[in-house]
Structure 1
Amino acid sequence: MVRQGAPSVPSLIICDQSGTELFDPGAAGRLEHRMALLAKAGDTVVVRERVPEFEQYLGDYLGIRDVSFVEAEPRDADSVARQLRVNPKLASLLGEALPDGTALTVQSYLTNGYTWHLAKALADCRQTPVSVAGPTSRASKHANDKLWFWSVVRTLTGKDSTPPTLYAFGPAAAAAKVARFARDFSSVVVKAPSSAGGRGNLRFQSAQLEKMRLTEIRDVIEQRLRAVGWRGTYPILIGVWESGITASPSAQMWLPKKDEGLPQILGLFEQRVEGSRGRFSGAQPAILPDDIAQEFLAEAAIIGALLQRIGYFGACSLDAVIRETPNRRSELHWVECNGRWSGVSIPLAAARRFRGDDTQNGLLIVQDIFPELKPIGTRALLDLLDELAFRSRASEEGIVIVSPPNRAADVSLNVMALAKTQPRAAEMVEELRRRLGLGAA
């Protein structure tokens, strides 16, 4: 029997990010390993490529022990959940890793149809109950679709509660709508509706479009979208890249099943985004004016309740921007829903595990790429951290390695500083940057 929920039984944690649109296994690096921070004794974690140094770190420093790791096919772009179901070798490895005769929970980075099919196959094979700690396939698809989110939010909270946005159902319509926005706004954005992390965001300066014919705009849009892996599917989103942004808050939420409680807002975080695509590079607890914070939290609860009604269960986050108008009034505009675990919700869950509910102060997440760094492994990073490294049950503060750094040309750094105060968390991150030979942030 397969059901939705998260009972206290051993979990199969699938770290795969392939359900997001424009996913590229080669460019994903080692961020998938973040999900291992959710593991507990008796759980099984599936990654595309094992990193033994990081697995050792989890046990030695964070107390995450007695966890089994299974390696999927690293070069196969197919969903890992599907691989586990149809690949006999992987299915055998998984069967050996999972505990015998017990109920099981399947928890994926992004829950989709492949997750539910795997849960059904496991239930049939093991003859034990299997739960899925995530939304229904339909709810997951809707929640991660920026166009669906835009339409729903306007209905729930008013037509002015999002940036100006339009659908485009083909290349000619996309060009015409980009040109239309370019006449009235300084920047226009084109988005693949279900992409993540800014990968499918294309920003156009309106001044560059002024002298272009519609056919030229059409060609540029398609060329740039295809360059990031887009496969020609419509509709796409055409919107305004707003100016006057003063904050980029995100509501980190846990949504119980609709008959088990109201939406829970676990934290309000300010996201750091960089570059023309708005790439996520970190977060910290947000500080907003009281009136905006109240509006933000109230509307987040309304949106969360709708997601519950359509079958959403589990972690999700709602992203917005705060814009200052020419008359100095602050406007809240909703941008998207991340209907999955994320670069904020996973570290936040780990922080709550280590510190309880005290996570709205003294927490700083870094997720960035540093081409100037030489390749470095988990062990070498720990040597650099030295006394700064957080140790579960032994430290009041310190830096947690959220995912192993890439040992490649562009070194990724994904860490979380935990401290009693926000300035102290920032101070620890700056000290790590100094030890790595990086300049001030």
Structure 2
Amino acid sequence: MNDWFPVVDHACCRLTDDETNFADRVARELLDRHAEFGLDSLLAEFQATEMSEAPSLHLDDLSEIRRVNDSDQSFFQERARVRAGEGDYLATSWHADETYEDYCREQLGLGHVNRIHPRGDETLEQNDGVHLAEAIWKDRRTRRELVHAIRKDGLRYLHPHMGSHAVWRLALLLHQTSHRPLQVIGAPPGVTEFANDKGQFLQLVQRMFGPHAAPPGHVVWNTANAAHQIQKLSGQACCVALKLPNAAGGEGNLVFALDTIRDWSLMDVDRMLRDRMPQLRYEDGDELVVTAWQTGVIAAPSAQLWIPPGDDRMPILEGLFIQRIEGDEGRFTGFGSADLPTDLRDRMTRQCLQLARVYQRLGYVGRCSFDMVLIGQDLESSQMQFIECNGRWGGTSLPMTLMNRIFGDWKSQPFATRMLKAPGSRRLSFDDVMKALGGDVYDHRDKTGSLILMNPRRMTVRDELSVVLLKKDWAQDVERFFARIAGRVKDRVALVSKGSNGDSIRPVAS
């Protein structure tokens, strides 16, 4: 276990010298072809070379994640609270809910965190709450607070959601003003873009593990080529997906059945795409991934890894989980443990560690995960295919890290997560939810309760509740408990709507 950050190794095997050497060779090939992976001389000194127990600024700047709608995405910033610890800084584009902050500090034991919230104004290029790094620099009060902290050795690292251009620019500006060293716990911008690009990942996986290691697919740059590739896939799959390469959470996916267009001409398919692609905000000339959409999926595993700086320490596989995916476009709604056959777990671990080693040799540092699908009749005979790399913190790695922080090792306490639909919950405060769930909310001080609440801002924006449920054992069926949680929040909405205090509660478990 890492003393500075709760990273717990759960790899079932280690790479052989041949496997490591192969990954290193692939990385050298990529470095030869991609000059953009290197850092500008002005930024090179901010690349993390070591990690010590020193305060970090956690900022989840989402400006470089492709979005296809204009809904408020700023609530994702609050997820960083579960990785922020004593003495750290946490930036959000809005004021923190003090009840939630007290809950994290006291009931979860996550330490005292310095919350900062830069004010947006007309000088921002994008005053949308998502361009957080820019807002931090342009808000004079926030900028002065951080520069003062750096000069007093109260801030050593920037620990972002991912290593975006905006975050590295912020590191440069803070360094130039404070004249003190800073390091970024994240990949260089070019490597971050490469890791999160679904098309590049498809090509990398097939280069390393063969053509069947990922669904059949191609990268195209216009609807005419997309139409051609769709027709080529008609004999290999029943459904096809068009994916924006740098979108997240299934948001940039367009999925349709091939039998509806099997007899169409190329021109008809192209015309259909031109009609439908605007919903993804796609324009000819942009990259687009055309891939088979697998329908015989029996599980959707996700591997969570930590990539330390340098080449002398190998990537760490912290866990394999089964994700809960809903809807035609594959929306992530939670995850649980992965009970996999030994041979499958071994192969999955080795291939994920090899991919992570490639990224490490490209300069990647920090959190990374790989999403897969298993296709077949049963796990023992299933075919494993890689779907995408998430070169950033996400909806699986953050709860896993929270469990490591509270319990020392996530495996020591069985759990599952859900994003529960809670219509009307945006009318509730976090205090209302705490009252609705009462003593079932976990308290680390006396080890009582079975529910951990995350990201209440999501509730106020999307009417959804982010919940971690502590289980008696990994095999326990928890769907009825999640349903009861949603029901109690629904009851609370009704009481608040009527103006009732409604402090009486029902326990989750009977």
Fold conserved between structures, TM > 0.5:
yes
Give the aligned partner of residue 7 of structure 1: 52
Q: 1:96 to 1:49 in 2, by over 3 A?
A: farther
Q: Distance in 2 between matches of 1:136 and 1:425?
A: 42
The CA deviation string for residues 44-69 of structure 1, in whole angstroms up to 9 with x for no partner, is 11112223232232223222343121
1:159 aligns with 2:211: yes
Q: Distance in 2 between matches of 1:144 and 1:79?
A: 19
Q: Which of 482, 488, 506 is 1:435 aligned to? A: 488
Q: Aligned to 2:295, what secondary structure does the other structure show?
A: coil
Q: Aligned to 2:322, what secondary structure does the other structure show?
A: strand
Q: Which of 336, 343, 346 is 2:395 aligned to? A: 343
Contact 1:17–1:23 (CA under 8 A) maintained in structure 2: no
Give the aligned partner of residue 293 of structure 1: 345
Q: Distance in 2 between matches of 1:165 and 1:320?
A: 15
Q: 1:401 to 1:172 in 2, by over 3 A?
A: same
Q: Distance in 2 between matches of 1:123 and 1:260?
A: 28
Q: Distance in 2 between matches of 1:101 and 1:425?
A: 48
Q: Distance in 1 between matches of 2:150 and 2:451?
A: 31
Q: Distance in 1 between matches of 2:346 and 2:192?
A: 27
Q: Distance in 2 between matches of 1:86 and 1:409?
A: 26
Aligned residues: 439
Give the aligned partner of residue 79 of structure 1: 131
Q: Distance in 2 between matches of 1:72 and 1:25?
A: 21
> Gaps spanning 5+ residues in structure 2: where?
1-44, 121-126, 492-507
Q: Aligned to 2:427, what secondary structure does the other structure show?
A: coil
The CA deviation string for residues 337-385 of structure 1, in whole angstroms up to 9 with x for no partner, is 1000000101111100001124376111112444475633211111111
AA in 1 matched with 2:414: G
Give the aligned partner of residue 59 of structure 1: 105
1:113 aligns with 2:165: yes
Q: 1:203 to 1:361 in 2, by over 3 A?
A: farther
TM-fit CA distance, 1:407: 5.2
Q: Aligned to 1:9, what secondary structure does the other structure show?
A: coil
1:20 aligns with 2:96: no
TM-fit CA distance, 1:181: 1.6
Contact 1:18–1:25 (CA under 8 A) maintained in structure 2: no
Bigger shift: residues 330-339 or 215-224: 215-224
Give the aligned partner of residue 86 of structure 2: 41
Q: Aligned to 1:298, what secondary structure does the other structure show?
A: helix
Q: Aligned to 2:47, what secondary structure does the other structure show?
A: strand
The CA deviation string for residues 175-227 of structure 1, in whole angstroms up to 9 with x for no partner, is 12123223442110000011110000110111222354434433443444432
Give the aligned partner of residue 404 of structure 1: 456
Q: Distance in 1 between matches of 2:69 and 2:87?
A: 31
1:141 aligns with 2:193: yes
Q: Distance in 2 between matches of 1:179 and 1:119?
A: 47
The CA deviation string for residues 269-328 of structure 1, in whole angstroms up to 9 with x for no partner, is 0001111110110001111122211111111111111111111111111110000179x9
Q: Distance in 2 between matches of 1:342 and 1:221?
A: 31
AA in 2 matched with 1:14: L
Contact 2:150–2:180 (CA under 8 A) maintained in structure 1: no
Q: 1:305 to 1:374 in 2, by over 3 A?
A: closer
Q: Aligned to 1:160, what secondary structure does the other structure show?
A: helix
Contact 2:456–2:466 (CA under 8 A) maintained in structure 1: yes
Q: Distance in 2 between matches of 1:428 and 1:172?
A: 49
Q: Distance in 1 between matches of 2:420 and 2:64?
A: 22
Contact 1:42–1:67 (CA under 8 A) maintained in structure 2: yes
TM-fit CA distance, 1:88: 3.9
Q: 1:409 to 1:346 in 2, by over 3 A?
A: closer
Q: 1:385 to 1:69 in 2, by over 3 A?
A: same
Larger radius of gyration: 2
The CA deviation string for residues 132-178 of structure 1, in whole angstroms up to 9 with x for no partner, is 11112222111101111111111111221111111112120011212
The CA deviation string for residues 20-79 of structure 1, in whole angstroms up to 9 with x for no partner, is 122756332623211111111211111122232322322232223431212245742663
Contact 2:220–2:289 (CA under 8 A) maintained in structure 1: yes
AA in 2 matched with 1:383: K
Give the aligned partner of residue 76 of structure 2: 31
Contact 2:195–2:359 (CA under 8 A) maintained in structure 1: yes
1:188 aligns with 2:240: yes
Q: Aligned to 1:268, what secondary structure does the other structure show?
A: strand
Q: 1:82 to 1:230 in 2, by over 3 A?
A: farther
AA in 2 matched with 1:431: R
Q: Distance in 1 between matches of 2:260 and 2:412?
A: 42
Q: How does 1:26-425 map to 2 (within 5 A)?
A: 26-28=71-73, 30-52=75-97, 53-72=99-118, 75-76=127-128, 79-88=131-140, 90-92=142-144, 94-95=146-147, 100-230=152-282, 232-324=284-376, 329-359=381-411, 362-371=414-423, 375-395=427-447, 398-406=450-458, 408=460, 410-422=462-474
Bigger shift: residues 389-398 or 423-432: 423-432
RMSD after superposition: 2.7
Contact 2:251–2:331 (CA under 8 A) maintained in structure 1: yes
Identity of aligned residues (%): 24
Contact 1:203–1:276 (CA under 8 A) maintained in structure 2: yes
Q: Distance in 2 between matches of 1:361 and 1:209?
A: 49
TM-fit CA distance, 1:97: 7.0
Q: Distance in 1 between matches of 2:257 and 2:440?
A: 43
AA in 2 matched with 1:365: T
Bigger shift: residues 230-239 or 22-31: 22-31
AA in 2 matched with 1:40: G
Normalized per residue, which structure has more strand? 1
